[in-house]
Structure 1
Amino acid sequence: MKVSEPRERLLRTATRLFYEEGINGVGVDRVVAEAGVTRATMYRHFPGKEALVVAYLEHEDAVIRGLFAAAAEHAAATDASPADLLALVIDGIADDATRLHTRGCPFINASAEFPDADGPVRAVVRRHRAWFRATLTELTTAAGAADPAATAASLVLLRDAMLVGGYLDGTDVATDFRATARQVAGLA
């Protein structure tokens, strides 16, 4: 299926603005203007702002999944061990926090702005976090962690802390994340 170029412009613009300035701080009119489309085009692709927010978070989810896929491809190409793959994923998560997500976690940020736990925005957040935790559990299991679920849960918390701490403190916490995450995963 061919993807609409105006839809992609809307999503790119919304992704940038929502992440940089907050979702509730950016109106649809601004997204439409900066994307260079009409309101009719916006509503043809997204029935409302909440649908655009959902698409933004689904895009962010795809970015993180892409990091995991890139690590898996690299590991397969180099015949890396499961522990090496886990180390690559940890490095990818740390790199993401210093390259793309320097203003905190988009999922935590969105959850703060959308407190309705049963709404569509929070549903995307739940799906992402469930996938993230389950995938880390699979990786830690393959790498031989004594308690893969607990290890994965700790890695999720460390990522959350790195993203929030890096934004709030304005420091590069990726180095500390790498070292601590490797230690928690039994890779140190």
Structure 2
Amino acid sequence: MNSPRGRGGRERILAAATTLFEAQGINATTMEQIAAEAPVSKRTLYAHFPAKEDLVVAYLRHLSDAGLTMENMLEREDLPARERIMGLFRAYPFDGPVRGCPFTAAAIEFPDPKSPAHVYTRDRKQEFTRRIAALLAELGADDPETLAEQLAILADGVAGRAMVFNDPGRGDYGRSVAQTLLDAALR
């Protein structure tokens, strides 16, 4: 079939994994399904990704690099800092079931704090909080690190509840709490 180099095998594998992980979750998706969806041989799949966890980390990197996570809202230079923060709590349309945060999903699937997927998730979550803190400092918040952690916890909670209830509109509840926190911190 396809050789590990060239011919787009790696890209097809990542595209297939993204589609399947979003449709049915990480745990429910098998490597065999990914190989069939790509389509590549299992040999090609394992040449690129020796273990499922390697593929999960590549998938998470792909989401980050492509701007397909809620973190992307914080990078929107066309919006003022406060709107970027509040954008974390905006409802977005979904074609399928609400999956919540892909990073949290990966950490749940790979609970060992030393596993590559868990480490990558922790690093992304720390960076997420740092980005919020930088925007809060720009806005003049007295204790941007503490407020950033509170807002990150709120955003993660909204993502989790949106998944549990299959309702992206749960962000509206988080938005009102975030507004209250920001108003109190930026008086």
> What is the TM-score when the length of structure 2 is the normalising length?
0.82
Aligned partners of 2:16 and 2:34 also within 8 Å = yes
Aligned partners of 1:97 and 1:163 also within 8 Å = no
Q: 1:126: how far off?
A: 0.9
Q: Tell me, in whole angstroms, the C-alpha distance in 2 between the residues paired with 1:182 and 1:10.
A: 41
Q: Residue by residue, what CA displacement relative to the aligned partner does 1:159-183 show, whole Å, maximum 9, x if unpaired? A: 1111111111233112222222122
* 2:89 partner letter: A
Q: Tell me, in whole angstroms, the C-alpha distance in 1 between the residues paired with 2:39 and 2:149.
A: 42
Give the share of equivalent positions with the same residue, in percent.
31
Unaligned residue ranges in structure 1 (runs of 5+): 76-83
Residue 81 of structure 1 corresponds to none
Which structure has more helix as a fraction of its residues? 1
Q: What is the count of residue pairs matched by the alignment?
A: 175
Mapping 1:50-129, distance limit 5 Å: 50-62=53-65, 63-64=68-69, 65-69=71-75, 71-72=76-77, 74-75=78-79, 84-91=80-87, 93-95=88-90, 98-99=93-94, 102-129=98-125
Unaligned residue ranges in structure 2 (runs of 5+): 1-5
- Change in Cα spacing, 1:175 to 1:148, as seen in structure 2 (3 Å) is same
Residue 18 of structure 2 corresponds to 15
Q: In the alignment, is residue 47 of structure 1 matched against residue 50 of structure 2?
A: yes
- Change in Cα spacing, 1:99 to 1:85, as seen in structure 2 (3 Å) is farther
Q: Tell me, in whole angstroms, the C-alpha distance in 2 between the residues paired with 1:4 and 1:134.
A: 39
Match of 2:145 among 145, 149, 152: 149
Aligned partners of 2:90 and 2:172 also within 8 Å = no
> What is the TM-score when the length of structure 1 is the normalising length?
0.81
Q: Tell me, in whole angstroms, the C-alpha distance in 1 between the residues paired with 2:91 and 2:50.
A: 31
Q: In the alignment, is residue 175 of structure 1 matched against residue 181 of structure 2?
A: no
Residue 133 of structure 2 corresponds to 137
